[in-house]
Amino acid sequence: MERYSRITEKNPREIVLLRAFPCVWGKCAFCDYIEDNGRDEGEMVRQNREVLNLVTGELGVLEAINSGSCFELPRKTLEEIKRITEEKKIRRLIFESHWIYRRRLEEMRQYFGIPVTYKMGVETFDHDFREKVLNKHADFQTPQEVAAFFDSVCLMVGIQGQTRDMIKKDIEILKKYFNHGTVNVFNNNTTSVRRDEELVRWFMEEYKWLLEEPDVEVLYEITDFGVG
């Protein structure tokens, strides 16, 4: 498991994959990532400290991800992140959060005292597919509701049952309402959700221009950020 990486092309930053307490929702149909969760706080804090000590600060931006939301990180790990940002003169943090925590986002900004960019795993703006198939438990109705809280969204493409029209609409929404986005091409895992190979081929051809978009990152493999 790689837990530290540097991204030097689009949106240069250091990125760390940390361990946290169980995801507040933890029932998304497509996700087995939550197996990285834990309950042994001491061990998680120790592991996270080792990873955070690799941060150099040379890129000025640090992204910290975990198998859930930043609010599930141990308190001592948050203290370590704060220490690192101060010592290494980090100018901006990037965190991920579930929709459930949308009214708590300002807490992290106040705690760290530097700009915090929040990502949210929307997966798709198609309400029925998101809630009835993916079981995301993010019951917003419009992209404007998400944009009122989150700076960046993560979309997922290439899932059986998803359509080209769904993907087209999702990309249009991303470009219209958000400053940044990540598009994850789905890879089969231990869940029953399956990849649609034809849809993936179509997406990679139809939207190859996204690879040149400065504010959209396309992850063909789940480890494309160098962690995982």
Is the pLDDT assigned to residue 222 strictly greater than 70? Answer: no
Report pLDDT for 226.
66
Residues linked to residue 157 through DSSP beta bridges, in sequence order: 185
- What is the rounded distance in angstroms from the CA atom of residue 164 to the CA atom of residue 91? 39
Looking at the chain, the whole-number percentage of residues with pLDDT higher than 70 is 97
Report pLDDT for 36.
85
Q: pLDDT digits over 35-58, tens only?
A: 788 999 999 999 999 999 999 999
pLDDT-based confidence at residue 32 (cuts at 50, 70, 90)? confident
Position 224 in a domain: no
Is the pLDDT assigned to residue 228 strictly greater than 90? Answer: no
Is the pLDDT assigned to residue 227 strictly greater than 80? Answer: no
**Dihedral (Cα; 107, 184, 39, 190), 10-degree rounding:** 160
Report pLDDT for 223.
67
Sheet with 216-219: strands ordered across: 4-7, 13-17, 61-65, 92-96, 116-123, 152-157, 180-185, 216-219
What is the widest separation between alpha-carbon atoms in the chain? 48
Residues 12-33 have a mean pLDDT of: 94
Residues 92-107 have a mean pLDDT of: 97
CA distances from 177 to 119, 146, 152, 213 (A): 13, 9, 9, 15
Count of alpha carbons within 13 angstroms of residue 45, beta-carbon side = 10
Report pLDDT for 211.
93
How many domains does the chain contain in total? 1
pLDDT-based confidence at residue 157 (cuts at 50, 70, 90)? very high
Position 227 in a domain: no
Report pLDDT for 224.
62
Give the range of the structural domain holding residue 206, as residue numbers without chain letter: 4-219
Residues 92-102 have a mean pLDDT of: 97
Report pLDDT for 12.
96
Position 169 in a domain: yes
Position 132 in a domain: yes
pTM beyond 0.85 = yes
Position 152 in a domain: yes
Which of the 8 DSSP states describes residue 1?
A: -
Count of alpha carbons within 13 angstroms of residue 60, beta-carbon side = 4
Nearest to 57 by CA among 16, 3, 10: 16
Position 226 in a domain: no
Residues 193-199 have a mean pLDDT of: 97
Position 225 in a domain: no
Please give, one letter per residue, the 3-state secondary structure of 99-142. HHHHHHHHHHHHHHCCCEEEEEEEECCCHHHHHHHCCCCCCCCC
CATH code: domain of residue 108: 3.20.20.70
- What is the rounded distance in angstroms from the CA atom of residue 62 to the CA atom of residue 110? 17
Report pLDDT for 220.
92
Position 52 in a domain: yes
Residues 154-167 have a mean pLDDT of: 98
Residues 101-125 have a mean pLDDT of: 97
